[in-house]
Amino acid sequence: MHAPVHRCLAIAVAATTTAAGLVGWLAPVALAPAPGPDGALVRLCAAVGAIAAAWLWLVTAVVLVEALAGGDRRARGVPAPVRRALLAACGVAVVAGLAAPAGATTGRQDPPQTAASVVAAAIAGLPLPDRPHGPAHPRRHPVVTVHDGESLWSIADEHLGAGDRWPEIYALNRSVVGADPDLIRPAQRLRLPVTTQENR
């Protein structure tokens, strides 16, 4: 894949300007006489910085030539992260999704997925723990089967003695019921909270 020439030229100009500025600033410091160990350390750091700037400019030039040529030949000595960053800047980076095979469309548009919907779909139907750490021998919850026309309120009223205790049933069965507590379906099996009478 050939890189766009204008992007490669823009990167070449930016790299050349930056490298020339750094070398022009660091080279006089590296070549200037400086007495004492502190001065020698400053000269050494300036020399290393100037060499690094020149090396980075050379690497950029090599990768830009490769990107313009569009071939598979890669020059040695170019670190992979630097090569990837430069190719991405040139517009040659390959997106992983483009390499995947295209799937057949169903003809209808699904709503956009969010992180919450992906997680909800992944854990749908999985039993969720009642608590992080339970007793060594947890009590079994009574189970009821939903009949036509029932709601969490009516089930709580019948089995727990108070309809306003429906959130307790929903908390135990959220993985079965789903995100909307008003949508329960016949034949669903729901666990009930362990009542105080059953605890005794």
- Quickly tell me which residue has 């030039």 as its tokens: 61
What's this model's pTM, rounded to 2 decimal places? 0.41
pLDDT tens profile 130-189: 545 555 555 677 899 999 989 999 999 999 999 999 999 999 999 999 888 888 999 999
Q: What is the DSSP letter of 163?
A: G
Classified as helix, coil or strand, 177 is: helix
pLDDT tens profile 44-97: 888 888 898 888 888 888 777 777 776 566 667 777 777 777 777 766 654 433
- Quickly tell me which residue has 């009642």 as its tokens: 130
Q: Which two tokens stand for residue 116?
A: 């919450």
- Domain ranges in the chain? 5-94, 139-195
Q: State the Cα–Cα distance between residues 60 and 15, nearest whole angstrom.
A: 7
Name the fold adopted by 139-195.
Membrane-bound Lytic Murein Transglycosylase D; Chain A (3.10.350)
| Phi, psi of 74, rounded to the nearest 5 degrees | -120, 130
Buried-state track 46-57, b at ≥16 Cβ within 10 A, e below 16: beebbeebbeeb
Classified as helix, coil or strand, 53 is: helix
